[in-house]
Structure 1
Amino acid sequence: MQLPINEALSGIFGSISLASWIFLIVPQLWENFRNKSAEGLSTLFLIMWLLGDICNLVGAIWAHLLPTVVALGVYFCLVDFIMLAQLIYYNYYRPKKRYRFLQNRHTDHAGPSSADPLLTNAEAPRTTKHPGSQRRDSLSEAFSDNSSPKEAIRNAVSVFFVLFVGSAGWFIAWEMGAWGPQGDSPDSEAPLAALILGYASSFFYLTARLPQIYRNFKRQSCSGLSILFFILSTVGNLTYGASILSFSLEHNYLLKNAPWLLGSIGTLVQDFAIFGQFVYYGRPQADPRQEA
């Protein structure tokens, strides 16, 4: 049985998008673990993203979508909770625990003199350095002439891996008979509740990155963020939108899918804004001591 070209393209793009979302969380989780901090992430960004995923999940259940779609919605909410839990641990619980440890340790010393420092150099809390002295981020390294290309190569290989896994996954599913002609009629209508939840999720997705953009601006840095996290987000949104548009351009079909199309394509502008921040804040800064 031959599959129409539009459905084949839609399936391949959708499978790549799925692979992007599955691997999306790994780079940022590793970045937080490596730094023992999630300071670079905006808490409000993750909360709004979680609300968007919850709306998607409830909408999928309400509309009686495929079990795989519902399962993916559960997976997305789960990884959101994992990232939020990691952020809360590193940014709120762990610093307080360390502070109590240091406080208890110094109360054991008998009569410290006023000349003694409260904390030794090894115990002193780390201060935030000038953005120019912080570790430069991977995207800015890729644009720098004197930087190592290892990070850029690693990111390119990761994106290629996601593209390969997504494409191969769809072809394997097709060969095994798990994918057949969809035959979705452009005239079919989505339940009103599902559309409302779809627009709600689009709203959360469209506004979720604004707190992150503001946080980067306020800190004048993107340190602590994984550039691959946002690259995979861009790939996932691009291919998800392409999967919808390649299937059909009928008016009713586009109207039915408008909330999800808006949520995927609309966030690309904000993703590119964050890429711009990676480049701008990663530029070498002039040393004030040399200017004096």
Structure 2
Amino acid sequence: MPRFPGRTADVAANLTSPVLGRPLCANGTPWILYLFEECVENVWEYWSVVIGLISMFCFLLSTLPQVYEAYRNGKVEEAMSFGFLLFLFSGDLSSLIGCVLTSQLPIQIVTVVFYIFTDLLLISQFLYYKIKNNSPKKRPTLKWLCFLWCGASTVALLILPKFITDNNPSANTQSASNSVEISGYACGYLASIFYLSSRFPQLYKNFKRQSTEGTSYMLFALAMMGNGTYGLSVIVVLPALAGSKQTFILKHLAWLIGSLGVLLLDFFVTAQFIIYRKNHSAKTSKKMNVPEVEPLLCEEEELSTF
């Protein structure tokens, strides 16, 4: 699930006059130029940015349904694979490192930091309920430790974007710029590997349980929408490119591989939700029927003895 497009660091430099320090994009869309420092002068580029924002919005919301589902049923450790959460966190962390190395825009760094925050929230929920459900005694301190951990993580992640943007050195030489760009692409490939790897532990977990109970499908549905719209945003801009289309594809190849790969794997997750839904219905009906039948049988046996 490559949540981050990975724009190059020299986009803003190409839009600013070295003499006057003013934007050279006279006919560009103002709000896109202000937020992303990207010159958008035709309909293809405009819709590419809009679709990309839809993709980012889907990823921002993707983990929230699972957070609610885990809070509602309290059995997240039985439904979610810890490997899935760990690989997801590793992918977002790699994206953050790539953002720092390639001097991404502040709005992009803040977005990926929010992704990491939701990852930590899911991991914290997983560990909290695992300890709570496996402990024979109630531990009131566990809840306070969880609150303190979430609070400390929130404060750290709120401070982190400003710290990174204030202390991120800019590359002055061509060799340093090339080195940073290569490092950024390496982080992109690494993040894609982590995102692809995240699906396999969850697929195995669902197969082993023969159930998807306790897992929110909206997590994967929104991820599919995010990955699909990201790929579309890259394809839509191709007709408007003045340079080499092959070079453009190569620069986005790491994120495209991860995006389309995870999208394919999420179709298998969707199939599991459809197939195992019958098992979930059967288990639910069994739990609902057993308490009502057993007392009646016991009463009939007692009456027959008299």
Q: Which position in structure 2 is the counterpart of 1:47? A: 86
1:29 aligned to which of 67, 81, 90 = 67
Deviations 1:265-292 (A, max 9, x none): 110111000100011111255999xxxx
Q: TM-score, normalised by structure 2?
A: 0.62
Q: Aligned equivalents of 1:194 and 1:6: distance in 2? A: 26
Name the SS for the 2:79 alignment partner.
Answer: coil
After TM superposition, the structure 1 = structure 2 runs for residues 188-227 of structure 1, keeping only pairs within 5 Å, are 191-227=181-217
Deviations 1:60-100 (A, max 9, x none): 11001111111111111111011100111012x21234x12
Say whether 1:256 aligns with 2:251: yes
Decide whether the 8 Å contact of 2:79 with 2:214 is kept in 1.
yes
Does 1 or 2 have the higher relative contact order (CA < 8 Å, sep 6+)?
A: 1
Q: Greater helix percent: which structure? A: 2
Q: Deviation per CA, 1:180-215, whole angstroms, max 9, x where unpaired?
A: xxxxxxxx9881101111100010111110000000
**Partner residue in 2 for 1:5:** 43
RMSD (CA atoms)? 2.2
2:98 aligned partner, one-letter code: G
Equivalent residue, structure 2, for 1:123 = none
Q: Distance in 2 between matches of 1:258 and 1:59?
A: 15
The residue aligned with 2:129 is 90
1:16 is matched with 54
C-alpha contact (below 8 Å) 2:132/2:138 kept by paired residues? no
Q: CA deviation at 1:240?
A: 1.0
The structure with the larger Rg is: 2
Query: Match for residue 274 of structure 1?
Result: 269
Q: Give the superposition deviation at 1:35.
A: 0.2
Unmatched tracts of structure 1, length 5 or more? 103-187
Instruction: Give per-residue Cα distances to partners, 1:161-188, cap 9 Å, x unaligned.
Output: xxxxxxxxxxxxxxxxxxxxxxxxxxx9
**Residue 79 of structure 1 aligns with which residue?**
118
User: Where does structure 2 lack aligned partners over 5 or more consecutive residues?
Assistant: 1-26, 29-40, 140-176, 240-244, 287-306
CA distance in 2, matches of 1:51, 1:9: 31
Determine the C-alpha separation between the residues in 1 that align with 2:274 and 2:134. 33
Structure 1 residue ranges, 4+ long, deviating more than 4 angstroms after superposition: 284-288
CA distance in structure 1 between the partners assigned to 2:237 and 2:102 by the alignment: 20
1:60 — aligned with what?
A: 99
Q: Which secondary structure does the structure 2 equivalent of 1:100 belong to?
A: coil
